[in-house]
Chains A and B, each alone.
Chain A
C-alpha cells in the first residue's frame, strides 16, 4: 500500500504552509508564563480571576505579532512557528523536573533554549513550587483517595484544570455579537447587582474579570491590524492590498460582529487562540464549525462575494494552522496521549434542536479540506443519523474507508437518547458536539467530559487479592489470601461492591478537584463563551454554566469482561479450576503455568466474538457503573457521564496491573476503548460489532471509542464501501455509538516500523484520534498491529 497521496489538490501557497507546519520543531513560549507569574505573585491584592484577566492582558500586550508572507488568516499562538504555551499555575513540578529531558525523550520532543531554561528555573517556576493547583489538589486528598490514586485504581486526568477543553463552546455568540457584546452584557449585569446580595462582591469581580479578558483579546487583534498596516507600507502592490484587507478585518473582529465568511473565520481563530492562553488549554474543541460558519458562507455566496474554492482554501488555511499548535505534556501525559497531544476535535453534520438534518455545503467542504490536507488535526467527528443527507454520508464513508484514517463517526440517536436519559433537554442533546477525542457534550453545557479514568482490571486485582494491590507502582503491594466465593453470583456481588467503593473514592477526589478549580483556576474568558455565567454572575468553575457534566471513564472493559467470563466459565460453570488455584497462577504471573494460561486464553469466552456469555458481562459492568455514578452529583451540581475510552492509557496503565484471569500476563496492555482485547475478536467485523452493541451505549454518555482495523483489500471497490456503509448503518441501528477504523494492513505497519523515514505520511486512528504511525511509541504501535485485521477470507 502506498502511503503517499496527491498533495497537488492544494494550492502552492497551502502546500508551503502545510510543509512549514509539519516541519517546524516544537518549541515553547514564556510570554504567558511570565505574565501569569507576575500577575499572581506581584498582585496579591487582586482576586484570582482578576489576576488571570490581568495576565491575559499582559500576555496580549507582549506577545510578538507574527504575520507570514503567505497568510490570509492571521494570529499566532506564540512567537514561534510551533510553540507551546506554559501553564505553571496548573502544574509546575514536571516543568522543573523534566526541563532538561524534553529534547531527549523518545518522541514528542521540544526544543528549549538555555536562556529559556534559565528563566524558568530562575524566576518563573520557583514561586509555583508547591503552590500550583495540582499540588494543592493532591495535598487536600484524603488518605483513602491518595492511596487509590497512588495505586492507579483511578487517575485524575492530567490536564485536570477542567477547562476549555471538553466543554461546549459557543463560538457563534462571538461571531454574532463580538466581544464587545460580551462586555456590554457584563456591564449591564454589573449595574444590576444589588449591594444587598450576599455574593455581590464575587459577582462584581467575576463580571470585571470577563470585561478585562474580553478587552485583552480585542487589544491583541488591534495589534494585528496595526502590524498588518505597517507591513503594507513596504509590501508589493498585491501583498499590500492583502495586508490592508487583513488589517481591516482584524480591526473589526472579534470585537464586533463578523459580517462575511472570512471575517467569521478570522474571528473564530482569534477567539480560539485566546482560549489557548487561558488555563490548561489542551484540546479546545473546534465545535460545530459547519453550523456556526454557515450563515456567513451562504450569505457571501448568494451575494457573489465568495466562491466555493475560496471558502475551501480558507478552511484549508485554518486547518493547517491547527497543526502549528502544540502542547507541552509532561512525560507521563505524553505517553497516554501517544502521538497527538492536541486532538482539536471538529464536529460536522448532525441535527438541529428540532431534529432536522443540518448537513450543508460547508459540511462537505470541511471533509474536502481534511481530505486534501491529510493532517492529524483537526480530528473530525462526523455525526450521522437516519436523516443524514446522502451526499454527505457517502463522502464521509469514502473518507473513512479510503485509507486517510482521519475521521470517526457518531450515532446521533444513541448519543441523544443517553443525554435525555440523564435529564438534558432534547434540543440541547440534539445540539451536542464532540470534545477531546470521542466525548460528546450537550449544547450549553460545561464539561469537563474526561476528568478521571477508573481502572477496571485493577479493581478486580484488588478483589482477588483480599483488598490490596498485588502490583503497585508505589511499592505498597501485598500478597493477601484470595477470598472464597460459593458462586459466580457471589463473586460478582463482591466485585460490584469493589467498584462502588472505588467510585465513591473517585467522586470524593473529584470534589476536591472541583473545589481547587473554583478557587485557583477561574476562567473568565471561557465563561463568556459558555451559556450561563454572564447571567448567573458565576465563573464556569464555580458552577455558573446553565448545565454541567463531568466525565469519568472506565479503562479495560474488554479485559475485565474476559476476566470475569473466564472465572465464571472455568471456575464456576465447568469447575475446571478452583479459584484459589487460579489466583495463585495470576500471582506467579503464570510462570510455570503456561498450559493453564493458554487454556484461559483459548478456551474461555472472549468479548468481541458475539458470544453472549461474555458480552452479557461487559453489559452488566457498564450498567452497574452507570447506576453507581448516577447516584452522585458533581461538584458543580451536574451529572457524571460514564465514558468507555482510553486514549493510550490502556497501554500505560496495563504496566501497573498484575496478570488477569483472561490469560493476560502482568504489565501487558489492557483492552482499548470500549472494545475487545486487541486481536481477540476473531469472528470478523459483524461479530465484533454485535458484541459491542450488547453494551447499552446510551448509558455511556461520556463517550466510547470503538476501533477496528481493516485490510485495504476489504474496502477496495465501491461495492465493498457500500457494504461497509450498510454494516455501519446496521451497527448504529443495533445501538452503536461510535466507530473509527484504520485501513492499513499488518505488512505495511511492520514495514513502517522498520523504515519509519519512508512512512512519514502514514496516519492511523489510535483511540478516538489520529496520529502519524511513526510518532507512536513502540507499545502503541504494537497495540495497533495486534488489532484484528479484518481481511478478505477464503
Chain B
C-alpha cells in the first residue's frame, strides 16, 4: 500500500451533498482530464489532465499585486501556471484561480470521509466523475480500493472510453457504474465528441454481458443526442443488450453562463434547454421498446 499512497491524482472539484449521482448523500469527486470533447460538455475545465490557471474578469478588482492586471490576464490567456501560479496564490478575490489540485490517496480519502456520518445515515457514498476518471487509472483504482476498505459505497461515472482491462480491474471496488451513451452513429459521434464510439459501445456490451452493476445514462441534447433517429438506435442497442432501463439527463443551458466568465476556447452552444415535452417524447419512444427511462434532474 506504500506504493498506492504515493500515487496522486488531479481533481478539479469535490462536491458534497451531491444527490443525483447514486444512492443517498454522496460526495462527488471530479477528476481532471478527458479523451472526449463533447460539444455540450458542461465541465470544459475537465478537458486538460493538468492543473491550469483560470481567470474570471468579473471578480477582478485590478489590485496590482505582483504586477497583475485585468488587461494583462486577458492578453496572456491561456495563462501559464509557471508564471501565473504565484499571482493566483495571492489574488485577493480569487479572480485568478487554479483549476485542478493534486491529491494523494490518503488526502482524498480524508476529504471524502468528512461526510462519513452523512453517508452512513443515508446509504450514500463516493462517486467519481470527471472528465474521464479512468484516465488517471492507477490513482483511481487505489482510491476506490481505499474507499472500499473504509466501508464506503462507491460509484463511477464514465464516458466508457477506456481499456476494458481497466474496467475489469475496477469492478471489484465499485458498487455502481454510470455509463454514458451518447450518439450511436459512428460518424456523428466523432463529429460531436471528437472520439470513436466503437470502443465505448464494446465496453458497454461487455459490462452488460458480465452482469456488472451498470446503469446507462444518456445526456439529452437537442439536435445532437435527442434526435428521433439516435433515440431509436439507442433503444435498439439497449434491447440487444437486454438492458431494460436507462437514465435520461435533459440538457440545461444555464451552464453556458459559466463560459462567459472563464477564459476558455470552449464555445457556447447557443442551444435551448430541452423542454419537458421533448423529454416526454423520448421517454415514450423508449418505452415502446419496453425500456423504462428515468429522467434525472442532477
Contact = CB atoms under 8 A, between A and B. Distances in A.
A720 B117 contact: no
Closest 6 CB pairs of A and B: A726-B122, A598-B92, A595-B63, A730-B121, A684-B17, A599-B92
Interface in A679-712: 683-687, 690
B15 A793 contact: yes
Contacts of A734: 117
Contact of A727 (B17, B21, B61, B123): B17
Interface in A770-794: 790, 792-794
Interface residues on B, range: 20 to 34
Contacts of A685: 17
Contact of B16 (A687, A716, A726, A794): A687
A279 B251 CA distance: 61
Given A684-B16, A727-B17, A595 B61 contact: yes
Contacts of B92: 595-599, 601-603
A610 B120 CA distance: 18
Contacts of B123: 726
B225 to A, nearest CB: 18
A595 B24 CA distance: 41
Contacts of A601: 92
Interface of B: 15-21, 24-25, 28, 42, 61, 63-65, 90, 92-94, 114-115, 117-118, 120-124, 297-298
Contact of B65 (A595, A690, A729, A794): A595
Contacts of B297: 713, 716, 792
B254 to A, nearest CB: 11
Given A601-B92, A722-B122, 16 more contacts: A594-B63, A595-B63, A598-B92, A599-B90, A603-B92, A685-B17, A687-B17, A716-B297, A719-B19, A726-B25, A727-B17, A727-B25, A730-B122, A734-B117, A793-B15, A794-B20
Contacts of A723: 19, 24-25, 122, 124
Interface of A: 594-599, 601-603, 610, 683-687, 690, 713-714, 716, 719-720, 722-723, 726-727, 729-730, 733-734, 790, 792-794
6 contacts: A595-B65, A690-B114, A726-B122, A727-B17, A733-B117, A794-B21
Contact of B24 (A603, A684, A714, A726): A726
Nearest to A722: B122
Please classify the interface of chain A as helix (H, G, I), strand (E, B), loop, or mixed, using the class held by over half of its residues: helix
A683 B118 CA distance: 14
A610 B25 contact: no
A594 B65 CA distance: 12
A686 B61 contact: no
Nearest to A716: B297
A733 B122 CA distance: 13
A594 B61 contact: yes
Contacts of A683: 16
A792 B64 CA distance: 36
B294 to A, nearest CB: 11
B15 A686 contact: no
Nearest to A719: B19
A686 B19 contact: no
B114 A610 contact: yes
Contacts, number: 84
Given A723-B122, A726-B118, A792-B297, A686 B17 contact: yes
B15 A602 contact: no
A794 B15 contact: yes
Contacts of B25: 686, 723, 726-727
A792 B20 CA distance: 8
A685 B25 CA distance: 11
Contacts of B93: 598, 602
Contacts of B63: 594-595, 598
Nearest to A594: B61
With most chain A CB atoms within 10 A of its CB, the pick from B42, B92, B93, B114 is B92
B121 A792 contact: no
A391 to B, nearest CB: 19
Contacts of B64: 595
B19 A727 contact: no
Given A595-B63, A602-B92, A730 B120 contact: yes
Given A595-B61, A598-B93, A794-B298, A727 B118 contact: yes
Nearest to A728: B121
A602 B121 contact: no
B151 to A, nearest CB: 15
Contacts of B28: 794
A686 B65 contact: no
A462 to B, nearest CB: 28
Nearest to B15: A793
Contacts of B298: 792, 794
A726 B298 CA distance: 19
Contacts of A684: 15-17
A22 to B, nearest CB: 36
A794 B120 contact: no
A684 B114 CA distance: 13
A726 B42 CA distance: 29
Nearest to A685: B17
A659 to B, nearest CB: 16
A483 B65 CA distance: 29
Contacts of A727: 17, 25, 118, 121-122
Contacts of A792: 19-20, 297-298
B20 A686 contact: no
Given A598-B93, A690-B114, A734-B117, A790 B122 contact: no
Contacts of B15: 684, 793-794
A686 B25 CA distance: 9
A690 B27 CA distance: 14
B98 to A, nearest CB: 13
A499 B78 CA distance: 51
A729 B25 CA distance: 12
Contacts of A729: 121
A433 to B, nearest CB: 27
Contacts of A733: 117, 121
B15 to A, nearest CB: 6
A602 B115 CA distance: 24
A727 B16 CA distance: 12
Contacts of A594: 61, 63
A292 B17 CA distance: 40
A767 to B, nearest CB: 23
B245 to A, nearest CB: 16
Nearest to B111: A610
A794 B13 CA distance: 11
A598 B61 contact: yes
Contacts of A687: 16-17, 114
Nearest to B63: A595
B166 to A, nearest CB: 24
A508 B284 CA distance: 74
B82 to A, nearest CB: 22
B45 to A, nearest CB: 13
B121 A720 contact: no
Contact of A714 (B19, B42, B65, B90): B19
A599 B66 CA distance: 14
A389 to B, nearest CB: 18
A691 to B, nearest CB: 11
A726 B18 CA distance: 13
A566 B62 CA distance: 23
A414 to B, nearest CB: 15
A603 B89 CA distance: 9
Given A598-B63, A723-B25, A793 B122 contact: no
B121 A726 contact: yes
Contacts of A726: 24-25, 118, 121-124
A595 B63 CA distance: 6
Nearest to A734: B117
Nearest to A576: B90
Contacts of B118: 686, 726-727, 730
With most chain B CB atoms within 10 A of its CB, the pick from A596, A684, A730, A734 is A730
Contacts of A595: 61, 63-65, 92
